[in-house]
Amino acid sequence: MRNPKRIPAGGQMTDPVTKQTIMHGVYSNFYDIVSNIDADDITWTRIFPSMPDVELNSLGSYPIIILESPESDLKQFDIGKNLTEGTITFNVFATSAKERDRIIDKIIYAVETNKGVLANNNLHQVEFDKMNMDQIARGKIKVNFCTIPIKFKFYSDKTQAF
């Protein structure tokens, strides 16, 4: 099994997260990391922002990854800085627990090995939160899924009002 490609700083990633692009910037950075994973023997070409509007009732429909929009909370950090604490969540759906777990491992490894790139793009203290796993029936198919929440912090200059 080969490892995910490490995205070079200033390379294939989107622009740094800024005060004007918090939501889009966070999403784009995590999307870039996962879409650059060398999938080896796992076949996925589908990363969606929400559950797709297509039939997912065949084995060939899986695996899929859903990257949800980030959730965030803006707080005052100090006199001149704001702190945005947030969570972005990956959902992995596969037809076997083994395949789901291999995808989870690849996502975790890709994020862990790109924490420096994320920091260069202004996302700090990137940490995984508690994952939830389960199995659901989708028609005649058993689908194994996992929710992978990732916490992050973004610091920005406070807007001054006069």
**CA–CA separation, 68 and 91 (whole Å):** 8
- CATH code at 58? 3.30.70.1700
User: Does 7 fall in a domain?
Assistant: no
Q: How confident is the model at residue 86 (pLDDT cuts 50, 70, 90)?
A: very high
Q: Is the pLDDT of residue 50 over 80?
A: no
User: Does 69 fall in a domain?
Assistant: yes
Domain count across the chain: 1
Whether 139 contacts 61, CB under 8 Å: no
pTM, to two decimals:
0.81
Q: How confident is the model at residue 82 (pLDDT cuts 50, 70, 90)?
A: confident
- Check residue 77 and give its pLDDT: 57
User: Does 10 fall in a domain?
Assistant: no
- Check residue 51 and give its pLDDT: 72
pLDDT one-digit tens code per residue, 125-161 = 999 999 999 998 877 889 999 999 999 999 887 666 6
Q: Is the pLDDT of residue 93 over 50?
A: yes
Q: Is the pLDDT of residue 8 over 70?
A: no
The residue segments making up the domain with residue 118 are 22-157
User: Does 3 fall in a domain?
Assistant: no
Q: Is the pLDDT of residue 80 over 80?
A: no
User: Does 135 fall in a domain?
Assistant: yes
User: Does 13 fall in a domain?
Assistant: no
